[in-house]
Chains A and B, each alone.
Chain A
Amino acid sequence: DTAVSQTPKYLVTQMGNDKSIKCEQNLGHDTMYWYKQDSKKFLKIMFSYNNKELIINETVPNRFSPKSPDKAHLNLHINSLELGDSAVYFCASSQVDLAGNTIYFGEGSWLTVV
């Protein structure tokens, strides 16, 4: 069983479209994240949700809207896609009560905007 699963793995879409990436974790964790990895491989936090509540919202355009229907799911919806949104998006999860709790990542979703 995959601990953190995200779909789709690959997504090619045109500018201006709206798309969603789904994420689910079966680890019983209370916190989920979305990270963006750019073309230079730099990983940056976008959002962090704890028990379905938004905790971190880094300087991300409001075209990006996360939705957490329950603790095990955190979906990412992107409106009006732009070329610069092309990246790899990673979902992740962890328990947050200790700094030492490991964050586990999904396999990534490769988004290409053309």
Chain B
Amino acid sequence: AQKITQTQPGMFVQEKEAVTLDCTYDTSDPSYGLFWYKQPSSGEMIFLIYQGSYDQQNATEGRYSLNFQKARKSANLVISASQLGDSAMYFCAMRESGAGSYQLTFGKGTKLSVIP
């Protein structure tokens, strides 16, 4: 079974609008971390935001926020006020504890296109 599922292969959003990228995860580990990375066309992997399984509040980093719904096992990324530079691939990833802490497991990614 997939541990990280991103159901939106591609998304379009109008510049200055908000957009939500979906991510659901599967783990039986009580301690885990959820991450979002951005990969622009230049190829580098840029860390955006992190949410810990025990965090009571949703993580925020500037225009990025993470809508964490633990019972539903979802960790959606919300980008507010989209900019043209936000056009990129976005990956959701999970890191478990114990032996699982030695890797990040990635979803298949969502390609976001921001339209002027």
Contact = CB atoms under 8 A, between A and B. Distances in A.
Interface of A: 31, 33, 40-45, 48, 50, 55-56, 88, 90, 92, 96-105, 107-108, 110
Interface in B5-31: 29, 31
Given A41-B89, A108-B45, A102 B35 contact: yes
A43 B106 contact: yes
Interface of B: 29, 31-33, 35, 37, 39, 43-45, 47, 50, 52-53, 89, 91, 95-97, 100-106, 108-109
Contacts of B97: 98-99
Contact of B101 (A96, A105, A110): A96
A42 B106 contact: yes
Contact of A41 (B50, B100, B101, B109): B109
Given A33-B103, A96-B102, A99-B32, 7 more contacts: A48-B103, A56-B103, A88-B43, A99-B29, A99-B96, A101-B95, A104-B47
B72 to A, nearest CB: 20
A102 B102 contact: no
Given A43-B91, A45-B104, A55-B102, A102 B44 contact: no
A50 B98 CA distance: 13
13 contacts: A31-B102, A40-B108, A41-B39, A55-B102, A90-B45, A96-B102, A97-B101, A99-B31, A99-B95, A99-B97, A104-B47, A107-B44, A108-B45
A108 B102 contact: no
